[in-house]
Amino acid sequence: MPKAIVIEETGGPEVMRWTDVPVGEPGPGEIRVRQHAAGVNFVDVYFRTGLYKAPAGVPFIPGMEGAGIIDAVGPEVRDLKVGQRVAYPFTIGAYSETRTLPAAKTVVLPDEISFETAAGMMLKGLTAHYLLRQVVPLERGDTVLLHAASGGVGHIACQWARHLGLELIGTAGGPEKCARALAAGAAHVIDYQKEDFVARVKEITKGRGVKAVIDGVGRDTFMRSLDCLRPFGMLVAYGQSSGAVPPFDIINLSTRGSLYVTRPTLGTFLADRDRFVAMAKDLFQVVAGGAVKIDVQRRYPLADAARAHADLEGRQTSGSSILVTAPAT
């Protein structure tokens, strides 16, 4: 019987159990995938702690992205077949050796992209795609502030922003992470442990502010990020690694210059199959072409998911972390 990480009650990393799970035949519109790797993301932490509710409640198998080989196809699946390599984002249940999932939630993985690379990039890479290419109408030469620029999404976004001709200002904690963001393509990097990022943004932009702030940190950065925006600028809040943003008075948006705030989610962008396929195609092209390199910094056996979560929450990681369920390919 295949094994998986199962959460029976929400809490700390210790609530994740490595156990046998039954996996049946795929139903209509479903495929069964023998997984090779799964990604580790902050959204997994949100589900584990109960900040986000698992769709079917507890118990549940966490994990939102993975890659592997189809080993069974259910009725009504016409465009996928046994033996094909596939990858997927944003479909809970990835921390498992074998799983079923809707065929429409997966895409065929090009041969030039490995399973481990795919597991480290699907959710983070498609997140970077909508942040840079869909939420705000960014054009070549625009200036953007990106928090956590050396993290999983950040490392991809820095490279993609350079490819798109954007002037990206990144924030990171400590000289090593700052150097990493610069090497990835950030035009400027602010060490938030030593510098006031609002003052530095004003200095870099000569007082104008940035067109957009991309903020996955949340509570610790949200209000001060508003002070980095130029008039009519937009704060894109897509995560909350430091905690949830407290309620705030909407008048702050008018007094700071008719600002915009949005809280998008990848799931909304992927709900339309045609949009999902087009976004994945763009991601595969920039990765296969070398414009964006996926840096899988840490690999853990699937059974060690608790350690992976502890490292992620302790800010001990950079780039992408993955759980390996099969030999690297």
pLDDT per residue rounded down to tens, the chain (329 residues): 999 999 999 999 999 999 999 999 999 999 999 999 999 998 899 999 998 999 989 999 999 999 999 999 999 999 999 999 999 999 999 999 999 999 999 999 999 999 999 999 999 999 999 999 999 999 999 999 999 998 889 999 999 999 999 999 999 999 999 999 999 999 999 999 999 999 999 999 999 999 999 999 989 999 999 999 999 999 999 988 888 889 989 999 999 999 999 999 999 999 999 999 999 999 999 999 999 999 898 999 999 999 999 999 887 776 789 999 855 44
Q: What is the CATH number of the domain that holds 221?
A: 3.40.50.720
229 and 148 co-located in one domain? yes
Identify the domain boundary among 263, 289, 309.
263
What letter represents residue 159's amino acid?
A: Q
Residue 316, helix vs strand vs coil: coil
118 and 201 co-located in one domain? no
Residue 127 lies in a domain: no
239 and 312 co-located in one domain? no
Residue 295 lies in a domain: yes
199 and 117 co-located in one domain? no
Identify the domain boundary among 220, 235, 263.
263
Residue pair 67/109 in contact (Cβ under 8 Å)? The answer is yes
- pLDDT value at position 243? 84
Alpha carbon distances (Å) from 242 to 127, 147, 248: 19, 12, 17
Residue 97 lies in a domain: yes
Residue the block writes with tokens 């690694």 = 241
113 and 149 co-located in one domain? no
- pLDDT value at position 242? 84
Residue the block writes with tokens 């959204």 = 43
146 and 106 co-located in one domain? no
Range of the domain at 233: 136-263
256 and 271 co-located in one domain? no
Of the candidates 182, 188, 125, 120, the residue with the CA atom closest to the CA atom of residue 153: 125
248 and 313 co-located in one domain? no
Distance, in Å, from the CA atom of 41 to the CA atom of 182, rounded to the nearest integer, reads: 22
Segment (H or E) for 6:
strand 3-7
Residue 65 corresponds to which tokens in the numbers above?
């992205």
252 and 145 co-located in one domain? yes
Q: What is the CATH number of the domain that holds 10?
A: 3.90.180.10
238 and 282 co-located in one domain? no
Output the DSSP codes for 84-96.
Answer: -EEEEES-S--SB
pTM value? Answer: 0.91
| Alpha carbons within 13 A on the beta-carbon side of 324 | 14
255 and 280 co-located in one domain? no
Total domains, the chain: 2
Residue 128 lies in a domain: no
